[in-house]
Amino acid sequence: MRKRIAGLAIAALAATSAALVMVHPASATGGCAATMPLGGHYVSMVIGELTVASLGRSLPEWTLEFRLRYPSEQIKNIDGVRWEQHGDQVTVRSLPGAGLPADRPVSFRYVMTDGVKHGDQRFFTLNGVPCGSVLPPAPSPSSSIPPGSASPGPSFSPSPPPDPNRPVVRITRPEEGDHFFAPATITVEATATPAPGRRITRVEFFHTDDSPDSAPFAIDTTAPYTAQWHDVPAGGYAFMAVAYDDQGASRSGENAPFVRVLTPGEERQAPYPSVVRDRLWGISPVIDSVTPLELTPLARSGAEARCVQGRGIWDGPVDAGAVARLAARGVRAVYLALNEACWLGLPYVDARYGGEPYQQEVLAYTQRLAAAGITPIVGLTWSEGRYTGPGATCRDERAVCAKPMPDAAHALDFWQSVAQLLGTGAVVYDLFTAPYPDRAIGDPAGAWACWRDGAEACSALGYPAVGMWSMYLAVRSGSFGVLLAGGLRGGNDLSRWAAYVPEDWYYNIAAGWRPAASGGCRPPVLAQAPVVVTTTCR
């Protein structure tokens, strides 16, 4: 039965795609066409191309408007245009001098948040004219249009019409991505339309928990066609309907919505943070919701120091009970200060506390936090490097104290390993807890260059260092989640942050900020990115 439903679902999706292609533009001489298919999926985000075409005439200036279907869909960026979003309404405007040629599709890369439920964008209008979704063919590289000749109009290749002798059936409830809590009662509704001169005799309902070739879990003979499945356990399920008419003809449904049944309490799962311009959004990984997210974490010290001191890993309890107490206090985020030598198991770290034991302890704790609805923020806090300049807290080359910038010897290996192990979208990565290269580099531009580039720009530190750009690339090898980059002066100075921060293909970098002194919790505001406080701050 599972194979049958899967095959029917694929066929239904193919039919739906074909139907979308057959929507014709409003006017072949003055209309438009636009598409915005979902492309590559990453955790909580999707990347694709918005394509728009003006049919029959060129437009020196243009405005495209459309609606998004679900609140978890937030535009993060659209390349090459001006754009804004208010609620579900998105407005895209051309840049000066970037008009639309007649009958030639133009594409713009976009990045958008993506929740449990997502749908096709709707109601495209170009300069107020409703658009269809049939794009004119893009010219081949070898094709050329003689000067003064008319631009070619769009051509269409219609799909064969549906068989008129079979009924049409579609599930209208539940929708793709809906969620329930176990033990659930799921109501399924469907519409069924017979061919002319015939009538529907019954609609049969199936779900993916059926055994192969089993009978339907429900049959309804009168409209509206409904079914109920009771005491549904936790899991994921797809539903399919099959309609029959009085001549014995039948057809499987046009869609097969997939839903999730969650265990009680699972909705507390920590959101997947996502940067949208100057705000941080929390995208639920289990239900369709999105809310503005402000993170001021509880600082969880110990993991950066105790392991290199041979005294264990944590300085207090980190079990499920401790996490539950944090959740009961309303804690929304916990900052985990990590040590690269402990994570990598360098020779001077006790093997009981370094390497695999350390990694698994951190992994388990972040998972417990996320399951309780608490966002884990992990940051590289202690690294190697012999620094003896201004502000030095020790002269030891080992990772036993804070250094101005991470070392080139191990920091990149640390971040690649951390991102690959903790890669879930619920974890936020702070590239370096408290940079202070400005103590050794008096020129502000030089200090910021060291912050970004490392290597020769950090020569004044006295040891090979890496910058934010290299660490960004290391984390992106395993995670597309939110990264934090704290500024100079121990993370307090963000004055040139926007000018030096690495450019992120996924638009998922925020500024980390730490108060310079106790009680000075007044984080700055950046127009380009959210500012996340990375320590307990009151």
| Residue 521 included in any domain | yes
Highest mean pLDDT among 8-12, 136-140, 301-305, 404-408: 404-408
d(CA 78, CA 66): 14
Same domain, 382 and 475: yes
In a domain, 2, yes or no: no
Angle, vertex CA 279, rays to CA 276 and CA 285, nearest 5: 65
Give dist(CA 145, CA 274) in Å, integer.
45
What totals of helices (H) and strands (E) does the chain contain, helices first? 9, 29
Q: Does residue 436 fall inside a structural domain?
A: yes
pLDDT of residue 164: 73
DSSP string covering 126-190, please?
Answer: ETTEE-BS-PPPPPPTT----TTPPPPPP---PPPPPPTTS-EEEEEESPTT-EEESSEEEEEEE
Query: Last residue of some domain: 262, 286, 318?
Result: 262
Question: What does the pLDDT read at residue 142?
Answer: 46
pLDDT exceeds cutoff 90 at 197? yes
| Residues 393-402 pLDDT 10s | 999 999 999 9
Does 223 share its domain with 363?
no
Same domain, 305 and 453: yes
pLDDT bin (cut points 50, 70, 90) of residue 140 is low
- Residue 35: inside a domain, yes or no? no
What is the structure's pLDDT at 43? 87
- Give this prediction's pTM: 0.84
Same domain, 257 and 299: no
In this predicted structure, the answer to whether residue 129 has a pLDDT above a threshold of 60 is yes
Q: What is the CATH number of the domain that holds 408?
A: 3.20.20.80
Residues 492, 511 contacting (CB under 8 angstroms): no
Does residue 275 lie within any of the structural domains?
Answer: no
Give the pLDDT of residue 305.
Answer: 96
Q: What are the C-alpha distances in Å from 315 to residues 303, 322, 351, 457?
A: 8, 13, 18, 37
pLDDT of res. 161:
58
**At residue 141, does pLDDT exceed 60?**
no
Confidence of residue 267 (pLDDT cuts 50, 70, 90): confident
On whether both 305 and 364 belong to a single domain, the answer is: yes
Residue 213 is assigned to a structural domain of this protein: yes
Q: What is the pLDDT of residue 26?
A: 36
3 pLDDT more than 90:
no
Task: Identify whether residues 202 and 339 lie together within a single domain.
Answer: no
Res. 103: pLDDT tops 90:
yes
One domain, residues 258 and 299:
no
Quick one: DSSP state of residue 208? T
- Count CB-CB contacts under 10 A for residue 276: 20
Phi, psi of 510, rounded to the nearest 5 degrees: -120, 165
**pLDDT confidence of residue 39:** 84
Phi, psi for residue 310 in degrees, rounded to 5? 70, 25
Domain count, the chain: 2
| Proportion of the chain above pLDDT 70, given as a percent | 89
Domain identity same for 299 and 255:
no
Chain CA centroid to CA 210, Å: 33
Least confident of 145-159, 219-233, 351-365, 476-490: 145-159
Residue 25 pLDDT > 50, yes or no? Answer: no
Helix (H) or strand (E) holding 510: strand 509-513
Lowest model confidence (mean pLDDT) among 77-86, 88-97, 152-161, 282-291: 152-161
- CATH number of the domain bearing residue 239: 2.60.40.10
Tokens of 334: 């916990």
Q: Is residue 198, in this structure, part of any structural domain at all?
A: yes
Instruction: Assess whether the previous peptide bond of 224 is cis (omega < 30° from 0).
Output: yes
Which of 213, 247, 262 finishes a domain? 262
Of 262, 286, 321, the last residue of a domain is 262
User: Which pLDDT value is given to residue 458?
Assistant: 98
> Residue 158 pLDDT > 90, yes or no?
no
Digit-coded pLDDT (tens) for 246-265: 999 999 998 999 999 999 88
Whether residue 342 is found in the same domain as residue 253: no
First to last CA, the chain: 58
pLDDT (tens digit, 9 = 90+) per residue, 26-61? 333 479 999 998 888 888 899 999 999 999 999 999
Contacting residues for 196 by C-beta, under 8 A, at least 6 apart: 164
Average pLDDT over residues 235-239: 93
pLDDT digits (tens, 9 = 90+) for 428-486: 999 999 999 999 999 999 999 999 999 999 999 999 999 999 999 999 999 999 999 99
- Close Cβ partners of 70 (under 8 Å, ≥ 6 residues apart): 115, 117, 118, 119, 288
The confidence score (pLDDT) of residue 4 equals 44
Per-residue model confidence (pLDDT) at position 461? 98
pLDDT value at residue 386: 97
Which range of residues forms the domain containing residue 414? 295-533
Report CA-CA distances (Å) from 101 to 49, 52, 59, 105: 18, 10, 6, 8
How confident is the prediction for the chain on average, in pLDDT? 88
- Mark whether 338 and 205 lie in a shared domain: no
Q: Could you tell me the CA-to-CA distances from 482 to 44, 341, 472, 531 in Å, in that order? A: 11, 24, 11, 12
Q: Are 446 and 493 found together in one domain? A: yes
Question: CA 478 to CA 183: how far, in whole Å?
Answer: 36
Residue 174 resides in a domain: yes
Beta carbons of 424 and 43 less than 8 angstroms apart: yes
When mean pLDDT is compared across 102-111, 143-152, 270-279, 438-447, the lowest value belongs to 143-152
Gap between the Cα atoms of 114 and 283, Å rounded: 8
Residues 525 and 471 in one domain: yes
* pLDDT score for 210: 61
Q: What is the pLDDT of residue 14?
A: 36
